[in-house]
Each structure stands twice: as C-alpha cells, then as structure tokens.
Structure 1
Amino acid sequence: MSRLQKKKKQRHPSLSAPFVLAAFIFLISAGLWLGVFGILQPIKQTFLDISGSAQKWLEIPFAWTKDIWSSYIALRDIKTENESLKHEIERLQREIASYKEAVMANARYKRLLDIKNQEKIPVVAASVIGEDLAPWVWSLTIDKGIRDGVGPEMPVLADDGIIGQVVESSDRFSKVLLIADQNSAVAAIDQRSRTPGILKGNGDGLCRLAYVGKEEDVAVGDEVITSGTDQIFPKGLPLGKIIAVDKGSGSDLFQTVTVKPAAGLKKAEDVLVQIRGKPLVEGLH
C-alpha cells in the first residue's frame, strides 16, 4: 500500500469526530434540560396551585364588596321608588278624604234642603265657625248675622234636628244657644203618647222633658219632637230620644225624664236659621 493511500485512511476518523462530539453534546444538553424541566415541573404546578388558591380567596372579598354595592344601589332605588309611592298614596288619600268630605257635605245640604222644602219656611244657611270653650256654656258661633237677616230670637236647625236659637248677633256673626244649655227651653211633645212638656237643658250635653206629670205615659226610647205651641220652632222636628225615666218619690209632682238630643250639638257644621219667631229662653231677660 502506498503512503498516499495510508494518509487517506487516517483522515476519515479525524473528520467525523467533531460531528459525533457535537451530537453527543446536544443529546447530553437536551437530556439535562429535559431533566431539569422535569424536576421543576412539580414546583411550577405547586406554585400554580398556591397562586390559584390565593387568587380565589382574594376574589371573595371583591365579590362580596361587589354584591354589597349592588345591594346598596338596589336598596337606594327601592327607597326612592317607595318614597315616590308614599307621596302618591298620600296624595290619593287627600283626594279621597276631600271626596268623602264633599259627599258628606252634599248629604248634609240635601237634608237641610229637604227640611226647608218640607217646612216651607224662610231660612238662611250658615256654617258653624266656633264654639264656646266654657264647659258650662253650650253655644256656637255661626257666620251669618244682621246683614244676612239673622238676629236674636230665631230658631236654628241642623240636618238631624233642632240645635238651638240665636241669642246675639253682630253684622256678620251670630251666637247660638244650644238646647242642652241650662238657659234653653223648647215646647216639646212625646211623639208616641203625645205627652207635652218643656225640653230644658241640663248643662251637661243632655236635656230633660220638664213638667211631665207622674201619671203621664212616657217611656225609654220614645222620640221627643217640637210641639210648635211656643210659635218659635216648627212643629214636628226632632229634639231627642228619652233615655231614662224616674217617677221619683210619692211626694213628687213630676217625673224626671232624661232626653238625649237628636242633633250632635257641638258637632254641627252647617245649619239653617229660621227667619222668624221669638225665643222661649229662661233667664235671659
């Protein structure tokens, strides 16, 4: 073999060695990298679990705060809506009260008009504007006076019966003495038995049918009406109802007959004043 051929055979191992070495290093590096990566993988998973749990727990207060804020906004809206509904309800209640008051007033006016038409008497409608505050005085003030044709010695009627008569008048106002006052007296009669008497005030809101003999037929529940014999009050108008009868002792000449007025005396709001008559009032002259 020639020297040239020997040199060619010796060059092959020297040329392939670097490639083998590079491949070997690559394989070793890849293996090391894969090994390190494999070792770190559990750590990364653990870190991911910890960070995920932390984020989950940190999200709870944020979600809670968000829910509270949403609830606050909702409650504020509900409160605003409730306030609006409350004002609307109050407005409707005022309207209903106004309608009821108008209906009641119309009913009173109708009853007063019926009385006027039935009795065919000249009357003036008036409104009650005040009452005497003294407990022993039963009187009202009305908004009609001399310029309206109203003066002393004129009967006053409410929608449910006689309430009294005018005792004082100014240009625009008048004072009405109620039938429950101790100074008041009205000619009356028991509607059932036709027993006559004089209705006097007790000064406590009640009246008594005076001068009723012990043998007269009067009973609890009987209606007492005006007799018309005093030529002051129209005949047949309600005065009240008998609520108690006491015949007294043997020496008594008269029964004690207690009468509850038919009209709500100090509750009267609208009245009719009869333009005529003279009073049957005791102790005023």
Structure 2
Amino acid sequence: MISSVVDQALQEHDGDTKATIAALENKAIPNAMALFEATRVGGNYEHTVYPERLEFLSKKTKKGADDIWEGRHKWENGPLMTQLKDGTLTSVAVDVLDTNAAYCSALKAWLPIGSLVHQPNGGFDPKRSGVYLLPERPTWHHPHLPDPIGNRREPGPVFLDDATIRLLIRCHKLDLCDPPYITQAWTSGASENIAEKFRRVLTTAREKAVLEGDKVTEEYIKAIYSIFVSTIGESTTNRDLRRPDWMHIFRSQAFANLWYKAYRAHEHGLTIVRLRGTDELHITGDFPWRTVFEEGRLTTQLKLKTQYTLGKAA
C-alpha cells in the first residue's frame, strides 16, 4: 500500500521526483486513513470513530484552540544563561540534535478505545486513557531540566491528556516531582496497540527508504504520519476519524519522547541548553554526545542538525 502507490505516482509523472512528491502529499489523507484501517484488521478492539464532542476538546473559534495543554517545549537552561551573562562562564559550544520522525514514534501511545466517560472523583487508572483535570499547574523545581508540561504559565485548573499525565507520573517515580493531583477525569478503556501496527509499517517502510536513498517514499511516509496526527481532531479535510483526544495524546507523546531524551542526556552528564518543539535537543558537555545516543537517520537514532557557540566567543 506504500510502494505500489509510490511506483504508480512516479510513472504518472515520468520520474519527476518533485512532482511525484507533491502528488503523493495531496493524496496523503485518504491514503493514510486507508493504511490505518488496513492495520486495524484483526485488531482486538473496535475503536469509536466519532465519539461525543466534549466542550474542552472543542475549538473556541474556527482557527483557535481547545483547552488541552500538550507540554510543548520552548525551554532554555536559565542557570546556564545566567552564568554566560555574568561572565562566570565564558562560552559553550552547543550541538543541536534532531529527532527523526518524531510523530511516527509518537504513534506508540495509550489511546482511549471508546467515548470518554466522566470520572468526577478523578484519579488515574493505567488501563484507561483520556483527559485529566488538575486544580493547578504542577510545580517544577529543577532549573537544569525542562518542565515536562511546557512553558505555559496561566493560573488556575489545567486539562492534560494521557501522555502528559504518564510523563508526570514517570517524573514522580524518578523523584523529580509530586504525583499529579487529578480532581476529575474523562477516560475510556485504553490500549497501547491501536496505532502500533500502523507505526511499525511506517517505520519499516521509512527505514528501507532511508537506507536505499529513496527520497520520494521517505517524503510520502512523512506526509502520511504527520497529516494523520494533524487531521484526526476537528479538521474538515478528514471525515473518517474525529478523535481530538487522540490528536492531543499523539502530540504530547512526541513532546514526552523528546523530554525522555533530554533526561537521558542529563543523566549521562551532558548539559541541556535548550529544548524546542518535538525534535530539537540542544546540548553541551565535556564528552561527545555520540557516547550517549546513536547517530543516524532511523527513528531510534539522533542526527546532528547544526552547531553554535553561546557567550563571548559567539
């Protein structure tokens, strides 16, 4: 369902890779949904396609946002920047590492199977997934580590999705913070395997394309997973699946995956300088990052995006 579509598109455009990629991107939504449905054949669970719309999952305006926080990263190491500013540290050489296919890897996430049901007493059940209400933003006391729920600072209650809650619970187990205090929840029975076969198919096809230098297939696969995640919410361009809860969970899982990489770098003695979006990890240290992470373009690897210097030598 991937290679045959690519081969046909190449024939239709006489081998013109640029035109072929554009044509494949235009077909990405229906082709992504067809591939997803094919990977669900024989699955243990029949997921709800159009669950009841909940107010906090609905956009307030046509181009606006709903009420869910996703843990988006736009963080920098405050103490390090202070040292550079006051001269106690003259300069640092920074490597910017790039995560490969972040949203493809994020398809491995705990997804609610059915419609979300209100649990007025809150709490967390690892066999369920959905959206959780916390009375206030959890406190984070580690200036050298990025806040796991991102940079937003609005006061009052916060809605967090399942991927972010599981990250906070992991942080608690690492003795980094208190467990999330959940006062209400909207959840369903869950599975980590709903999109897992879909992810494996895309990962295998992407790996083959990377190893063979097949740029057309690589770009087509990128369009499939990125447009799948971005259109399963309230998009008018995808009418096959309406799961804004899944969309938020996938996005937050991508942010969480980057946070785990940052924490791994920190635990191995590297200094985190900045964290950006789903895929940028800025680090510095006295030894090569390649001793911590494997370099390459596969989903399990990181690649060097760029380098820069902070401080007087910049």
Normalising to structure 2: TM-score of the pair? Answer: 0.20
Structure number with the bigger relative contact order (C-alpha 8 A, sep ≥ 6) is 2
In terms of fraction of residues, the more helix-rich structure is: 1
